[in-house]
Each structure stands twice: as C-alpha cells, then as structure tokens.
Amino acid sequence: MPWTHLLVAATVYLVFNRIGLVGFELPFFALLFGSIFPDIDHPRGMVSQFNILKVVSGALQRVVTHRGFTHGIPASLLFLGISIQITSFLELDIFVALGFFVGYILHLAADSLNPTGIKWFQPFHNGKIRWRISTGSLSERIFFFFLIGVVGILLSFQ
C-alpha cells in the first residue's frame, strides 16, 4: 500500500533526523516521492496516477511486470541518474536527487517485508529477499499503526 511506503519513509527520516544522521538538507518531499516511485510499474500505483507520469507508467507496464525491473538496485541507480539530470536541469540542489534515491531504496526495503519479496539485484541475480507481511493484511495494518506510533513519539519530542 502506498501509505505504508510513505509512512516507512517518514519514520526512517524522523529517526535519522532525531539521532543526527540526516538534516533538513535531505528534502522530505523528494524522499516521499521516491518511496512510492518504484510502483510506477503498477497501473494502480499512486505515482502512476500523476498526469505527467501516466504515459511513462503505461509504457513501462507494457515491458515490465510489477515488482520486476523497477524493484531492484539497477533500476534505482538508473532513476538516480535521471533524477540527477532533472535536478540539474531545474537548478535544484543535488540533495533532491539524493532524497528521491533514499526513498526509492526504502520502498525496496519495505517490499522485502512482503512474502512476494523482490529481487534486489535483477537482472544479475534472481535471489529474492522476502518476509511475512502481506499487502492489505492484518499484519500490514499492525505494522502501519506501529509506525504511526513511532512517528507520534518522535514528533512529540521535537
């Protein structure tokens, strides 16, 4: 679920911010966008609903499967390169591209918690990393509300 991906990214950002590993120079909204971007390969993915990305999403869906190419390190590096080019063209700080990339990696980590898992190193290696939290299940809802609790605690001590 896209909301879980967004919440994972927000939680990790707040934890790292709290312990001083990341400051506000890592753009929060770029991180959030990166955290939903890998699902551009899914017709109902949140990022696939943005008008500007519908054409890209539709083209990708014709050549890749969900949790296929876009759900691995090679794709994350490709999209990092593209995001660096876009941020340069728009004269934005390089940290925007870095925030996007970190969000992207967090999406992959969250999808690794699903029984379907992902192949982090495809097409070079087909081994999957997976766990037990099924999309839309009670376990995902428990995980989601746990993260809300963590975010609430972190925000209450700001």
For 28, 35, 49, 56, 68, the CA distances from 52, given in Å and listed in that order, are: 21, 18, 9, 8, 22
| In contact, 69 and 75? CB cutoff 8 Å | yes
What confidence tier does 84 reach under pLDDT thresholds 50, 70, 90? very high
Q: Is the pLDDT of residue 74 over 90?
A: yes
Q: Name the phi and psi angles at 127, rounded to 5.
A: -65, 135
Q: Is the pLDDT of residue 25 over 90?
A: no
Average pLDDT over residues 151-156: 92
Please identify which residue in the block is written with the tokens 């970190």. 102
Average pLDDT over residues 30-51: 92
Q: pLDDT: is 51 or 77 the higher one?
A: 77
Q: What is the pTM of this model?
A: 0.90
Average pLDDT over residues 63-82: 93
For the chain, give every domain's residue range. 2-156
What is the residue type of 3? W
For the chain, the 3-state helix, strand and coil shares in percent, each to the nearest 5, are 65, 0, 35
**CA trace torsion 7, 12, 18, 19 (10° rounding):** 170
Which percentage of the chain shows pLDDT scores above 90? Answer: 62
